[in-house]
Amino acid sequence: MMNVPLNISSMMERAEKYFPKKEVVTRTPAGNKRHTYREIAQRTRRLSSALQKLGVEQGDRVGTFAWNSNRHLEAYFGIPGIGAVLHTINIRLAPEHISYIVNHAEDKVLLIDSDLLPLVERVKDSFKTVQAYVVMTDGELPETSLSPVYSYEELLAEGDPEFEFVKDIDENSPAGICYTSATTGNPKGVVYSHRGIFLHSMALGMADTGGLSESDRCMAVVPMFHANAWGMPFIATWLGSTQVMPGAQFTPKVLAELIESEKITVTAGVPTIWLGLLKELETGEYDTSSLRAVLCGGSAAPPSMIKAFEVKYGIPFLHAYGMTETSPLVSVSRLKSYETDLPEEEKLSIRAKQGLVVPGLEVKIVGKDGEVKMDGEEMGELLIRGPWIASEYYNDERSKDAFYDGWLHTGDVATMDEEGVIKLVDRTKDLIKSGGEWISSVDLENGIMAHEAVFEAAVIAIPHQEWQERPLACVVLHDQFKDKVSKDDIMDFLRPQFAKWWLPDDVVFLDEIPKTSVGKFLKRALRDQLKEHYQIQ
């Protein structure tokens, strides 16, 4: 076979040549901007040539501080298009972490959405390698203390719309880097190669995984600064799918409106987003009939939420699993062909799991005594390997803790049933170790969230003299149920669902659950917050 390296620039070339009329839609304060792929491709070529003029060379890192937008999409291809490395910076990280990752990645140029300038200005003095700042704005360059500073649109105006992407590079060359949102310590960088992104994109386009298609109108709600928006911008461009970018500071209302007005067929995001959307849909004002899949990952979606989408609103829900280290797609939960006639509740419980590993990857679940039985009961740590799984953290000594023996050790505790379906039980660090046995905080949370009054719930381990650890339930009620539901109500609801020793020792009602920058429960913060209260036990 020909020795043709897998290279992501070919995706944009395909969109340009075969889908020049299809569109990328970006929500902006001035309304929805529409660009065709012909325009996007030319702008991307202009960006590539402009970055070269700024001195960016093959292998250099270029950082982005940006929302989901057509410009961010141009950066997704324009930066790797010259063999440089797209560093998507999580704008929700703490300032000291932003400093850390810009310096650790040695970013040479930063592309910045104008509304995010204050964020960058605050930490700019700590940057050691940045040689140029490029501001992405429609109008005049705003006042800024950044220097030297350029206008993205002015650079593009001077760029070459026929620039030829650099394609003859080793497919294992880095195309992107993304840092995980660490809950402790500094963020850890994951490098994505051209090969990895190419293969991951094919997997996403396969009928049995994401099944993305030219006919889809995709809206990635998951930020483009988080694990490449789960790869959606790559595969959607490759297939010529319409892409809708929700832009800055969107609300559930904005998302619901975009779904209706842009006839979104596939959207992707974390459970927190979908909980918010569900609440908005309760107004009954939206037509969401265009949706063929709400892709959900990042953390486990409660079955009650899946049910609400499917039963109440007729919106097909697609539960998936992955992490920054895995590009991120690892598994998707779909029914097998011989399961489609099972009772609805049974189907729901299968689809609420994390699903089957996608073609191209291998998983195994390893407990104390080696690989666990495929019985849906035995728990162990989920291990993953494959061509789009990271082999290390970028220049980071912590690599050895997660990557060894040829496998990524995820830190996720899981079971696998006889059909091969993975079910996440907990994070290793969130499991509640009670009297030598394990209690899954995730199972308890799902049990609580099935209560109609509950908006969200987190269960954490609190220290206990006799049992070592015991579960504590932290519950946020829907507004209309505030002060109308008691601890006893919750406990009564849980009792038939769980063994007695699994039941939480207490239930506390909170206004909100603290979350990480990507919407996951921040249980460490919860534990800190509630420590005082429970340390006497």
Residues within the interface to a second copy (CB under 8 A): 1-4, 6, 10-11, 14, 17-19, 21, 172, 191-193, 195-196, 198-199, 202-203, 205-208, 211-215, 238-240, 327, 334, 336-338, 356-357, 359-360, 362, 385-391, 406, 408, 419-420
Toward a second copy, which CB reaches closer, 387 or 514?
387
Distance in Å, CB of 331 to a second copy, minimum: 11
Task: Please check whether residue 212 is in contact with residue 21, taking contact to mean a CB–CB distance below 8 angstroms.
Answer: no
Question: Residue 533: which H helix or E strand, with range?
Answer: helix 523-534
CA dihedral 306, 310, 316, 319 (to 10 degrees): 10
Active site residue 378: no
DSSP 306-344: HHIIIIIH---EEEEEE-GGGSSEEEEE---GGGTTS-H
Toward a second copy, which CB reaches closer, 335 or 453?
335
Active site residue 438: yes
Distance in Å, CB of 21 to a second copy, minimum: 7
State how far the Cα of 153 lies from the Cα of 383, in Å rounded to an integer: 45
The answer for residues whose C-beta is within 8 angstroms of residue 440's C-beta and 6 or more apart is 413, 425, 426, 431, 432
Which of 26, 44, 64, 180 is catalytic? The answer is 180
Active site residue 230: no
Toward a second copy, which CB reaches closer, 205 or 302?
205
State how far the Cα of 422 lies from the Cα of 374, in Å rounded to an integer: 9
Burial call 20-45: b when 16+ CB within 10 Å, e when fewer: eebbbbbbeeeeebebbbbbbbbbbb
State how far the Cα of 322 lies from the Cα of 336, in Å rounded to an integer: 20
Of 393, 395, 396, give the one whose Cα is nearest residue 409: 393
Toward a second copy, which CB reaches closer, 22 or 520?
22
Distance in Å, CB of 398 to a second copy, minimum: 17
Distance in Å, CB of 82 to a second copy, minimum: 20
Toward a second copy, which CB reaches closer, 174 or 303?
174
The answer for residues whose C-beta is within 8 angstroms of residue 10's C-beta and 6 or more apart is 167
For residue 274, which phi and psi values (nearest 5 degrees)? -75, -30
State how far the Cα of 103 lies from the Cα of 193, in Å rounded to an integer: 21
Toward a second copy, which CB reaches closer, 178 or 449?
178
Distance in Å, CB of 374 to a second copy, minimum: 8
DSSP 226-292: SGGGGGHHHHHHHHT-EEEE-BSS--HHHHHHHHHHTT-SEEEE-HHHHHHHHHHHTT-----TT-S
Distance in Å, CB of 336 to a second copy, minimum: 6
Distance in Å, CB of 140 to a second copy, minimum: 37
Q: What angle do CA 50, 56, 59 make, to 5 degrees?
A: 135
Toward a second copy, which CB reaches closer, 28 or 290?
290
Beta bridge partners of 113: 136
Toward a second copy, which CB reaches closer, 114 or 327?
327
* Three-class secondary structure of residue 84 per DSSP: coil
Toward a second copy, which CB reaches closer, 160 or 392?
392
Distance in Å, CB of 83 to a second copy, minimum: 17
Which of 33, 433, 487, 515 is catalytic? The answer is 433
For residue 111, which phi and psi values (nearest 5 degrees)? -100, 125
According to DSSP, residue 396 is labeled -
Question: Residue 218: which H helix or E strand, with range?
Answer: strand 217-220
Residue 163 exposed, middle or buried by CB count within 10 Å (0-12, 13-18, 19+): buried
Which of 325, 353, 456, 520 is catalytic? The answer is 325
The answer for residues whose C-beta is within 8 angstroms of residue 60's C-beta and 6 or more apart is 84, 85, 108, 109
Active site residue 180: yes
Which of 279, 438, 467, 487 is catalytic? The answer is 438
Distance in Å, CB of 78 to a second copy, minimum: 20
Q: Please identify every residue annotated as catalytic.
A: 180, 325, 433, 438
